Amino acid sequence: MDNYVRNVGGVPPYGYSWNTGVLEINKWERNILLLVFKYALNDNLSPHKISQLLNEYKLNSSRKGKMWTYKTVSYLFAPKRIEFYSGYADNKRGNWEPIITTEMAAELIRKKIVTTSGKRPHLHKYLLTGIGRTICGYCGGNITSVLDKTKHGVNRYYYCSTRSTYGINHCSESKTFPMARIDEIILNTIDAQIRNITEIKKWTSVFYKKRDKQIKLKLDILDKKINTSLKDTTNAKSSSSSIKSRNKISDLIAQKEKLVDEKLDYYNFAQLTGSQIERLSLNKQKELVIACIEHIQLFNDKIIIDFPFVIDNAGRSSITKAY
Ligand SMILES: [Zn+2]
């Protein structure tokens, strides 16, 4: 099979061992790996916290009994590693048994894994990758980067990771997106918002007032319904109708809690600061993108940027930039 990837040898990745030239799952390490991914996906724990727990449970990081560190845990979240654990390398099926499903791999890559310190486990070398913000405008797939070396120099591109997932043309619409131009647009756009912060705060507070008013109306309606259901519970003639109205109450209370959460959701404008963005280090720039932008959709000719605040007096929070 030509597009079958074979492992070239060397130290087997964590989770595997060699068995007469064949890469075999190391069951002990696989269980630890699955625990690490579960901690990140379900419990949203940081690599630092995960390493602490693993050491506490004496689940060593290697056959030599080494302790886990922030770095060794973070390394497991590298996209290449996650791809490998799902049984693929360079978009091709490998000849080793996967430890995680491709769905789980996609979820791990898609979901930003937030650490308690605000750092990401794997900050890439490129502005828009590894921040959980950038997606392909055509299919919603994760955006990854590619480097094209020619005799005229090096060109860097973003591209849709599902464009040719595992040999199948999943996202035929998307071409490669020129990185330098896109990064420039994103940084300029953030810069423009920072310069306009006074107006933005004003427009956003108008939006919050309207939103909170609507939420208050909904909350009033819910409260009335809850009161009615409470009366129903007290007046219930049979235990089944009493249970029914109690279930209804807990459902209504859940709806209420959700609305209250929404009402408390205000953007922290202290994050929207900075000057001379283009001079900041890449990691600082990435932190700004994470703080100021909700989503970035890349298309072949335009970028759509969604902000967590209002950016004009028409109440819009999204901007389209052609390139
Ligand atoms: Zn795509």
Rounded mean pLDDT for each run of 10 residues along the chain, 323 residues in total: 53 83 87 92 84 88 76 82 85 86 82 45 66 88 79 81 63 82 94 94 94 94 91 82 84 89 86 84 88 94 96 95 93
CA of residue 41 to ligand 1 center, whole Å: 23
CA of residue 143 to ligand 1 center, whole Å: 8
Q: Which region, left, alpha or beta, applies to residue 305 given φ > 0 means left and ψ of -120 to 50 means alpha?
A: beta
CA of residue 298 to ligand 1 center, whole Å: 9
CA of residue 290 to ligand 1 center, whole Å: 21
User: Span 16-110: which CATH code?
Assistant: 3.90.1750.20
- Cβ-in-10-Å burial (0-12, 13-18, 19+) of 199 comes to middle
Whether 274 and 291 have beta carbons less than 8 Å apart is answered as: no
Cα–chain center distance at 317: 20
**Cα–Cα distance list, 154 to 150, 180, 232, 322 (Å):** 6, 11, 72, 24
Residue 5: Cβ within 10 Å count: 17
The two beta strands, 92-93 and 88-89, are: antiparallel
What pLDDT is stored for residue 173 in this prediction? 78
User: What is the rounded CA–CA span in Å between residue 160 and residue 9?
Assistant: 30
What pLDDT is stored for residue 197 in this prediction? 94
Residues within 5 A (CB) of ion ligand 1: 136, 138-139, 141, 160, 171, 174
CA of residue 306 to ligand 1 center, whole Å: 18
CA of residue 297 to ligand 1 center, whole Å: 10
Domain ranges of the chain: 16-110, 202-263
CA of residue 140 to ligand 1 center, whole Å: 6
- Cβ-in-10-Å burial (0-12, 13-18, 19+) of 235 comes to exposed
CA of residue 284 to ligand 1 center, whole Å: 27
What pLDDT is stored for residue 1 in this prediction? 41
What pLDDT is stored for residue 322 in this prediction? 94
CA of residue 227 to ligand 1 center, whole Å: 49
What pLDDT is stored for residue 298 in this prediction? 95
pTM over 0.95? The answer is no
Residues 6+ apart with CB under 8 A from 91: 164, 165, 166, 167
CA of residue 164 to ligand 1 center, whole Å: 9
User: What is the rounded CA–CA span in Å between residue 156 and residue 151?
Assistant: 14
